[in-house]
Structure 1
Amino acid sequence: MNLDPPILSSHATLERLDPLSAAAARRVTRGAALLALSVPVVVTAVRPQEVAQPVWLVVSFVALIVAVGILLRRSHPNRPVWSSPSAQVFQVLVTIMLIASAVSTLGANLMIRDDWGPIVAGILLVAITPYRPAREIALWTVVHSLTCAVVGMVHAPYASGDFPPLTYAVVGSAAVAVLGFTAAAYARSLNQSTQLWQIRAWQAASAAARDNREALARSVQQDRVSLLNREVVPYLQRMAAAGTVTEDDRDEARRLSAGIRTLLVSDVEKSWAQLMLDELVARHPHLNIRARADDPDNLGGHAVLERRTVLRALAAISLERLAATEIDVHLSAPEGRLRVVWSVATPRPMTDARRALRSMTELIRGVTQRSQVHESAGRLVIEFDYGY
């Protein structure tokens, strides 16, 4: 089991580091998306005379709507985490929106500071803070700022004031630069503090594991001694008191030997996933629960600690919140990835079951490469892949 602490990474995102915090930020994301759509509509409605090229205005609106659609889709809890290719498409659409909106008002917009493009671009950069790395946000802030600066210089000859073109370049890029770099700085600060907290938590977990390892070994040995006291010692005492050994005694001795051997061997041969399920089910003796793990290669036993922790947490929450009657877990490794298919039968309605597992599915979405939740044959099925 790997207890090495995580390392600081400049490619980290809040959604990977703390999926539940990213989930809580989705309301802010939706609010920012609504604001990004509202600003150009309001500005255009208030100053329609500044629209010199309606076709380009339509292009800018289309690019903005598609970008917002990508933002909402990739931040949805039932979708995988935001990948780099779709993030680049999103930023390209923002750039197209900036250029098209500027062309639509070329020659008619006398106050460059009132352009809605840079403000909307800045709002969108703030909206992606939980989902993209700080370095990527800063890089695209530079790109968008330079785009706005060029647009400002192109607009300069048509502006109402007689100022150097460089002044208009600064004014035109100020909004996106301030909002974008603020978003990047916030993402960097939040991600680093979360990573440092995780490093300290891993160090504490590693120390606790080393301290408890000997105690755990003693506990297992005591269980074996208790088994011998229950089964073997009474038999030997009867033999000593009787003084003779009958054929029935020999049969009982063979039965005890086979039973103890089977018990010890079965414990050794069980996969980590099955042992984990057995341990958690044993804590609910009053419930009739069937829990089975299909893991012939013991992939769970070879998984790193954070992946095993997710599996244990999912089992615990299935028993405690769903009152699960059956749990089936299948672990496989297609193309080197760890794939988990978790099937739960519960007396609760599927809608309630999904709601009860929402925080867990949010966590799984953040720490895995692909995840989905669906229903099959009256069961709630959670599938996810590791391997990023």
Structure 2
Amino acid sequence: MTRATPTPRRPRAPASASQQRLDPIGGLAAWPLAPVVALIVVTYAIVATISRMHEIQITELAAASVAVLMIAAAVLVWAARPDLAPFTRTRAVVIVALGLAAHLLAAASTWQFNGMIQDDFAPIGLGLLLLALAPFRPWKEILTLGVSSAVVVGVTALAQSPFLGIQTPPFLFAIIAMTQVLAPALASAAYSRQVVNSIHRWQTDARRAIRARTEESRGLLATEVVDQRLKNLGADVLPFLADVLERETLTAADIKRARSLAFQVRRVLVAEVDHTWLDDLIDRERLKLTERGLNPLCVIADPERRATGFDSDQRAAVGALIVALCRLKGFDPTSLVVQIDGSGEAPADTDQITQAFGHRGARPTPAADTTTIAIVTAAEEQAATQAKAQARAQAQVHAATAPRPRTTGLSAIDTITIQAGISLPPFHRRRALRPYLSVLRAVFTRVRVTSRHPLLTLEFDAERTTTKGIK
């Protein structure tokens, strides 16, 4: 009897992941949940307080309880704003702490005169606040906050049990009070866990599919790169070499022509090697602005090619922001400046891989004449550079889709600064940039926005380990 092959377990998302972190656009769509929950919490607190005036002995404490709960709701709405993403742990702790303070104040205002705990507004309001954290915080954190809050509410119910109007075992009051907090907290944690795992599985499957398709197309891509390089060489270099070998003589004009061709080919290949994804993006936007009849002047300052160290999410976020800026009404096409600098070592290049391909593509010297050797050596350098460019293309495709290895290298910070002149009122400018800032704050460590009309400056940091980058 053979044992069935076990099905490999699908990877689970990290415990610190949240819906807003893994899917910034989805977190942006979930943000209206916060003001809706805040409105329900505040309305219920006011209505419940008015309906229980006969139980309230200290009116000031009751009013303070409602006020603190309103502050907690306001903090929730503020913390969940897309332009302030991501929703940090400190904000969540502050919201829960304010909810607990409102509960203790409400309990003190009706101490010894509370008829039943089922109609207390503070535990229900606290539970709803925990429920609103589902799209923004990890499930373990929500569960920890929910259990801690439920314990405080349960202890408060036990302390009030001798004065309640219903005679029943005290632990039943504690269970009822804790359920009002624990049930929404468990629902919030379960939602966060399920959604995060679903997003993580989908992203994992998508990356696997991309890697599979890339492996299939890598050979075709390499062939296309070689063909393109051969076309470039075939236009001038190869006919010149064929003519020299056919004549079997070399003149001073031929030597001068060989040097000129070598310089031109080297310049083209070096320019292509130094070209990054950011250059391609700016070139496309510059072309679109030109097609609209504008005269764009878009400047890129990235001398260390730090843009190569950005991952796919960061590239997509930066690209979307630049495209949005170029399409905004009132955008000055001569004002866009993109600068990247930072601390730590710049992204390394793929020299070891490309050198291997370069040596493999080199050709032996077929002539013994010293002058002819110089020409053939130039052709060897061109062929080596050609193979090196091919290897760069292969390394770029592979590195862009391969899973990121875990490294223990030193940390480096790349800072990208984008400046643009936009002649829009501040309100319209903030409204247009709000969704993009939400995504930027989710994928970058720190985002700073400076607005001095009409100049808009955005600066954000990208942390990375000092591993090899891709172009």
**Shorter-chain TM-score: which interval?**
0.7 to 0.9
SS in 1 for 2:291: coil
Query: For residue 233 of structure 2, what is the aligned residue in structure 1?
Result: 228
Query: For residue 290 of structure 1, what is the aligned residue in structure 2?
Result: 297
Query: For residue 205 of structure 1, what is the aligned residue in structure 2?
Result: 210
SS in 2 for 1:26: coil
How far did 1:250 drift?
A: 6.7
Q: Aligned match of 1:180 in 169, 178, 185? A: 185
Q: Does 1:269 align with 2:278?
A: no
Larger radius of gyration: 2
Aligned partners of 2:434, 2:213: CA distance in 1, in Å?
30
Q: Does 1:362 align with 2:438?
A: yes
Q: Aligned match of 1:325 in 327, 333, 347? A: 333
Aligned partners of 1:354, 1:241: CA distance in 2, in Å?
69
Q: Does 1:305 align with 2:312?
A: yes
Query: For residue 44 of structure 1, what is the aligned residue in structure 2?
Result: 49
Contact 1:292 1:328 in 2 (8 A): yes
- Equivalences for residues 65-214 of structure 1 within 5 A: 65-214=70-219
Contact 1:274 1:292 in 2 (8 A): no
Aligned residues: CA RMSD: 3.5
Query: For residue 458 of structure 2, what is the aligned residue in structure 1?
Result: 382
How far did 1:329 drift?
A: 1.8
Distance 1:147 1:346, change over 3 A: closer
Q: In structure 1, list runs of 5 or more residues that go unmatched.
A: none
Contact 1:271 1:296 in 2 (8 A): no
Distance 1:284 1:239, change over 3 A: farther
How far did 1:120 drift?
A: 0.3
How far did 1:32 drift?
A: 0.6
Paired amino acid for 2:32: R
How far did 1:245 drift?
A: 9.1
Paired amino acid for 1:28: L
Distance 1:354 1:292, change over 3 A: same
SS in 2 for 1:384: strand
Q: In structure 2, list runs of 5 or more residues that go unmatched.
A: 1-9, 345-411, 465-471
Deviation digits for residues 243-288 of structure 1, max 9, x if unmatched? 9999887766654443332222222234453345336656777354
Distance 1:345 1:129, change over 3 A: same
Aligned partners of 2:275, 2:414: CA distance in 1, in Å?
19
SS in 1 for 2:303: coil
Paired amino acid for 1:144: S
How far did 1:165 drift?
A: 1.0
Contact 1:146 1:173 in 2 (8 A): yes
- Tell me: higher relative CO, structure 1 or 2? Use CA pairs within 8 A at least 6 residues apart: 1
Deviation digits for residues 36-80 of structure 1, max 9, x if unmatched? 112111111222122112333244234323322322222112224
SS in 1 for 2:17: coil
Distance 1:63 1:356, change over 3 A: closer
Query: For residue 409 of structure 2, what is the aligned residue in structure 1?
Result: none
Contact 2:420 2:456 in 1 (8 A): yes
Paired amino acid for 2:413: R
Query: For residue 343 of structure 1, what is the aligned residue in structure 2?
Result: 419
Aligned partners of 1:334, 1:96: CA distance in 2, in Å?
44
Paired amino acid for 1:222: D
Paired amino acid for 2:99: V
Distance 1:209 1:318, change over 3 A: farther
Given the two structures, how large is their TM-score scaled by the length of structure 1?
0.84
How far did 1:116 drift?
A: 0.5
Paired amino acid for 2:61: W
Q: Aligned match of 1:54 in 32, 50, 59? A: 59
Distance 1:203 1:46, change over 3 A: same
How far did 1:314 drift?
A: 3.6
Distance 1:156 1:355, change over 3 A: closer
SS in 1 for 2:32: helix
Contact 1:6 1:198 in 2 (8 A): no
Q: After the TM superposition, which of the residue ranges 102-111 and 231-240 deviates more from structure 2?
A: 231-240
Contact 2:46 2:66 in 1 (8 A): no
Q: Identity over aligned residues, as a percent?
A: 26
Aligned partners of 1:252, 1:54: CA distance in 2, in Å?
97
Query: For residue 372 of structure 2, what is the aligned residue in structure 1?
Result: none
Given the two structures, how large is their TM-score scaled by the length of structure 2?
0.71
| Higher percent of residues as helix | 1
Aligned partners of 1:215, 1:289: CA distance in 2, in Å?
36
How far did 1:188 drift?
A: 1.0
Deviation digits for residues 130-181 of structure 1, max 9, x if unmatched? 1111111111111111122112222212211111111211222221121111
